[in-house]
Amino acid sequence: MIVTGAGGQLGQALLEAFPEAHGLMRADWDVTLPPPPDLETDLILHAAAWTNVDGAEDDPQSAAAVNVGGVQHAAELGAPLVVWSTDYVFDGRKRTRYLESDTPGPLSAYGRSKLHGESAAGEQAWIVRSSWLFGWSSHNFVRTMLRLGAERAEVAVVDDQRGSPTYVGHLAEATKAVLELPYGTYHVAAGGECTWAEFAEAIFEEAGLDTRVRRIKTAEFGARAPRPAYSVLRSERGAPELPHWREGLAECLARLKT
């Protein structure tokens, strides 16, 4: 079993959940290139991806080389494959939870690259769509808020996007249950939902910081990539249910403390 993107936040969590797996970093295999000729495996947990959502607007070809070409190359190994995808494949116009049967309509270059990546995975694949990932390593919202919260009295955070912040430890563990299901697309995200501003408030509260959150609109924040206003994911296909995002946050902060 191999884990690609082993240095990423999900990749690291997967290596803990699947200690028998062999982790591959970008230096071991740049997934924009065909797999190394001597690489053989019975299962690929493909966590390597271009995850810079705003950067993909500036350089959509490079994002696609990783998120589409990389998945295609992983599929070429001929083994069953798990590919992680995103809530950003949806346009966010719905106001009830997105199910696997809902029609995607990505707003951003990143979302489009991930949707095309889903199609590149082939027949022997589980596509696991998740949302707003955070963990103890790599770039994520929790680590950014902890850094900003330590530096500032107030942080401006977007309050008109709703989703389910998902702890990578929970997602990695749930992958074991996904592997028991037939190949196909599954929505696997934390229980509960919130806005980024509510998430930031919870992070400061749990971390014991008295930083204030100033709630702003997406337009005021001015990110380059458009993002869905609502992207809560739920499963109608029997995918594993994850704990509430607040439980994930507590676990993540406890881990960051040690």
Ligand X SMILES: NC(=O)c1ccc[n+]([C@@H]2O[C@H](COP(=O)([O-])OP(=O)(O)OC[C@H]3O[C@@H](n4cnc5c(N)ncnc54)[C@H](OP(=O)(O)O)[C@@H]3O)[C@@H](O)[C@H]2O)c1
Residues labelled catalytic: 110
Using rule CB under 6 A, residue 5 touches ligand X: yes
Q: For residue 102, what is the enclosing H or E element?
A: none
CB of 258 to ligand X, least distance (A): 20
Q: Is 187 in the site for ligand X (CB under 6 A)?
A: no
Q: Is residue 227 a contact point for ligand X (CB under 6 A)?
A: no
Residue from 41, 131, 175, 195 binding ligand X (CB under 6 A): 131
Question: Which tokens hold the place of 125?
Answer: 């694949």
- The closest of 87, 112, 107 to 218, measured between CA atoms, is 107
d(CA 189, CA 211): 27
Nearer to ligand X by Cβ, of 140 and 211: the residue is 140
Which residue of this chain has its Cβ atom nearest to ligand X in the complex? Answer: 8
By CB under 6 A, residue 138 contacts ligand X: yes
- Of 59 and 154, nearer to ligand X (C-beta) is 59
Collect all residues with Cβ–Cβ distance below 8 Å to 220 and sequence separation of at least 6. 156
Q: Which stretch binds ligand X (CB under 6 A): 3-11, 93-101, 146-154, 249-257?
A: 3-11
Quickly count: other Cβ atoms within 10 Å of residue 31's Cβ: 23
User: Does 84 participate in binding ligand X (rule CB under 6 A)?
Assistant: yes
Number of residues that bind ligand X (CB under 6 A): 25
Is 188 a binding residue for ligand X by CB under 6 A? The answer is no
**CB-based contact 34:73 (threshold 8 Å):** yes
Q: How many CB atoms lie within 10 A of CB 178?
A: 17
Number of helices (H) and strands (E) in the chain: give both, helices first. Answer: 10, 12
Rounded to 10 deg, the angle between the 141-151 and 196-207 helix axes is 60
Q: Give yes or no for residue 11 binding ligand X (CB under 6 A).
A: yes
Which residues make up the interface to ligand X (CB under 6 A)? 5, 7-11, 26, 30-32, 47-51, 66, 70, 84, 86, 114, 130-133, 138
